[in-house]
Amino acid sequence: MPNLFAMLGTGRTALMSEQRAIGVTGHNVSNIYTEGYTRQVPIFTAENPYEDGRFWAGAGVKIDEFKRMADTFLDRKIKLQLGEKSLWEGLDSVASDLEVIFNETKDIGVRDSLDAFWDQWQELADNPEEVVARDGVVQAGKTLVSTLRESHDSIEAVANEKAKQIENWVNEVNTLSDEVVELNKKIKAEEVGGRDANDLRDKLNLKLNRLAELVGGNVEMNPENKTFSLFLGNGATLVDDKTAHHIEFKSGEFTQSLIRRLNGKVALDEVSTQKDWYTLKIDGEDVSLSLGGKIGGMVQGVTTLLQDMADRLNTFTKELIYQVNKLHASGVGMNPITNLEGEVQLGDTSVPLRKMTTLPFLDRLKNGGFEVTVFDENHNKVSSTIVNVDLENSFDAVVNQLDQINHLHASVSPGGKLIIYSDGGYSFSFSNDSSDFLVNTGMNAFFSGTNAGDIDVSSRLTSDTSNVAAGTSLNAGDNTIALKIANLKQEPVMENGHLTLNGYYNSMVSHLGAKSGMIKDMVDTHTGILEQLQQKRDSISGVNLDEEMTKLMQFQRAYQAAARFITTIDAMTDKVVNGMGLVGR
């Protein structure tokens, strides 16, 4: 039978084990509101028995470990879902900002200002002899320009704002990656020594959750040492148990790409400069499109959704400029045209026309010609000349043709723009441009610029609104040009003749609304899935006060019983030591 001193040892193990169990229960209760805390449970096992004669006597109890009640598979699913939900939230952040920019319910938007622009041209068509009507056209043009440029600038502002946010997140990711590596090392050191590293694992899990929220990816556990690594969508390693691979972030870079287009039988060599909004690299490898989470969602939102809206806005604006300027180029204001300077800076005019990449509508320039009519001081026609345009010939060749017309002079200004002026007492006008040469040079244009960022009303018209062309002649009732421009509202000039300018703009706003709605639905869907996973995790890993209080009472009663057991053994020992051997004294 076990001796008394062995039984004291048995009681001691029970006392110490229940004390430790009460301690971990208190630790659980203390951390009930600690973010990322995982409930710990004491695992009791019997001490190795010892031989007592022909019996094996129990040696008491011990706590093998304080088990961290975590479901590794569930935690991994939560991290994946965190990355997915956060990706859609990043997209939603961009989409919501774009919805504010293209909110057509505000006081004045592009749609309203576009309608007002067409209405003013109709007003001029109804009253072609009035200066006031021309004032209205110019003012409506300025308002339209203002709304377009405001939309463009707002898009740029959103991109710049998101760049700052991404940069802050990238810095946080790099800091977290360093901390994950350090925690991996500490956990290995602790657990190699046989100690539990539960609280360190909670901290590690919390940081991995935040990394998954920021960059998405897959979190994998090394089965040998139970450390964690995070891999991005393309397999690139962000962090492992030894190394943190920092993300390098750059914004506002530009890349150049060579584009070859076919226009009939003519190959156009054009160098296109496209904005590369953001670049994110790990060890020199571009991972911009491999990131998930908030960063990946925001990068995708800017480089796809925001870029798409910027492209659509510029496409709309460029077509507006082209259509209005093409018609206005053949018109005449209230006064004869005696000198004109184009709106376009031409660059090298000695190369073939097809290689003049500075021309805003080079893809529409074609072999053909345009008519130049010269008038005397009584507005009688003096001559009418066809100027030939051949894409294989240089711009200078066209200028020479213009300069050879009697009473006209043409050259390229020091500022690189086409200048045409007439002798004293003579004037001129253009018509029948089958080559789109005039609209490419910005001659007698209503708008300057080529996109939503630089569109403006020609300074020639803002300084003197009488230069606004209502017709093709100086006749007071001539409203030919004004009527054609007003009718552009109904002309299907977009999408290969399927949409009007108004229709195209409405479709791009509708497209944004549909995209934004889909993104918000995805945010709601993944939020719901994540909440279900977190509820399941809480049921396994979370602290329940009722359960902990029940366990506390159990451990307390066991502790009291162990203490009573020790007291009993102590009394028995005292009897043996102090109460035996007294007979006969």
Q: Which tens digits make up the pLDDT trace of 224-238?
A: 777 788 888 777 888
The whole-angstrom separation of Cα 336 and Cα 426 is 8
- Average pLDDT (399-405) is 96
pLDDT of residue 150: 94
Report the alpha-carbon distance of residue 470 to residue 426 in Å, rounded. 21
- pLDDT tens-digit readout, 231-268: 887 778 888 878 899 999 887 754 444 333 333 333 44
Provide mean pLDDT across the span 545-572: 90
Who has greater pLDDT, 252 or 307? 307
Grouping H, G, I as helix, E, B as strand and the rest as coil, residue 365 is coil
Closest by CA position to 128, among listed 325, 338, 334, 324: 334
* Burial zone of 481 (CB within 10 Å; 0-12 exposed, 13-18 middle, 19+ buried): buried
Q: Band of the pLDDT at 2, cuts 50, 70, 90?
A: low
Phi, psi of 417 (to 5 degrees): -120, 150
Neighbours of 477 (CB within 10 A): 10
Q: If you average pLDDT over residues 205-211, what whole number do you get?
A: 93
Q: Which of 179-193, 251-265, 299-313, 341-355 has the lowest mean pLDDT?
A: 251-265
β-bridge partners, 266: 263
In this prediction, residues 424-444 reach a mean pLDDT of 95
CA-based angle 316:322:328, to the nearest 5? 135
For residue 274, the model assigns a pLDDT of 52
What are the boundaries of each domain within the chain? Answer: 4-60+542-578, 98-159+314-512
Strands (E), 120-246: 218-221, 228-231, 237-239
How confident is the model at residue 499, as a pLDDT?
A: 94
DSSP states of 158-190: HHHHHHHHHHHHHHHHHHHHHHHHHHHHHHHHH
Q: How far is CA 42 from the centre of its chain?
A: 48
Q: What is the dihedral of CA 217, 179, 188, 281, to 10 degrees?
A: 40
**So what's the pLDDT on residue 364?**
94
* The pLDDT of residue 583: 57
Check pLDDT > 70 for residue 271.
Answer: no
Residue 287 clears pLDDT 60, i.e. is over it: yes
Write the pLDDT tens digit of every residue in 152-173: 999 999 999 999 999 999 999 9
**For the chain, what is the radius of gyration of the CA atoms?**
41
The DSSP letter of residue 259 is E
What number is the average pLDDT over the span 434-456?
95
Helix (H) or strand (E) holding 251: strand 247-263
Q: Where do the DSSP E strands lie in 283-425?
A: 285-286, 339-341, 368-375, 381-389, 408-412, 418-422
> So what's the pLDDT on residue 260?
36
**Residue range 273-281: mean pLDDT, rounded:** 72
For the stretch 461-512, pLDDT in tens is: 999 999 999 999 999 899 999 999 999 999 999 999 999 999 999 999 999 9
pLDDT over threshold 50, residue 559: yes
What pLDDT is stored for residue 23 in this prediction?
92
3-state class of 243 per DSSP? coil
Q: Which of 328, 331, 327, 361 is nearest to 344 (CA)?
A: 361
Q: How many CA atoms lie within 13 A of 87 on its CB side?
A: 21
Structure tokens at 84: 């997915």
What confidence score (pLDDT) does residue 262 get?
38
pLDDT range class, residue 353, cuts 50, 70, 90: very high
- The reported pLDDT for the residue numbered 571 is 85
Identify whether the C-beta of residue 386 lies closer than 8 Å to the C-beta of residue 370: yes
Average pLDDT over all residues of the chain: 89
Q: CB atoms < 10 A from the CB of 52, how many?
A: 13
Q: Which residues of 132-170 are buried (b: 16+ CB within 10 A; e: fewer)?
A: ebbebbbbbbbbbbebbbebbeebeebbeebbeebeebb
Provide the pLDDT for residue 314. 95
CA–CA dist 521, 526 (Å, integer) = 9
148 Cβ contact list (under 8 Å, min separation 6): 110, 313, 317, 452, 455
Neighbours of 254 (CB within 10 A): 8
Strands 447-448 and 266-282, bridge-based pairing: unpaired
E strand or H helix at 258, and its extent?
strand 247-263
| Residue 75 tokens, joined | 């935690």
pLDDT computed for residue 265 by the predictor: 38
Mean pLDDT along residues 255-284: 54
pLDDT of amino acid 269: 44
Instruction: Indicate the Cα dihedral angle 200, 201, 202, 207, nearest 10°.
Output: 90
Residue 459 is which amino acid?
Answer: S
Give residue 106's pLDDT. 63
Contact between 336 and 375 under an 8 Å Cβ cutoff? The reply is yes
pLDDT digits (tens, 9 = 90+) for 71-98: 888 999 999 999 999 999 999 999 999 9
- Global pTM value: 0.85
Burial class (CB within 10 angstroms; exposed 0-12, middle 13-18, buried 19+) of 433: buried
* Residue (of 485, 489, 487) closest to 500 by Cα position: 489
Residue in this structure with the two tokens 């660059």, named with its chain if needed: 347
436-451: average pLDDT: 96
CA–CA separation, 315 and 537 (whole Å): 50
The arithmetic mean of pLDDT across residues 195-202, rounded, is 88
Asked if 218 contacts 80 with a C-beta cutoff of 8 angstroms, the reply is: yes
Highest mean pLDDT among 36-40, 60-64, 132-136: 132-136
| Dihedral of alpha carbons 320, 322, 323, 326, sign | positive
Query: How much of the chain exceeds pLDDT 70, in percent?
Result: 94
280 and 238 in contact (C-beta within 8 Å)?
no
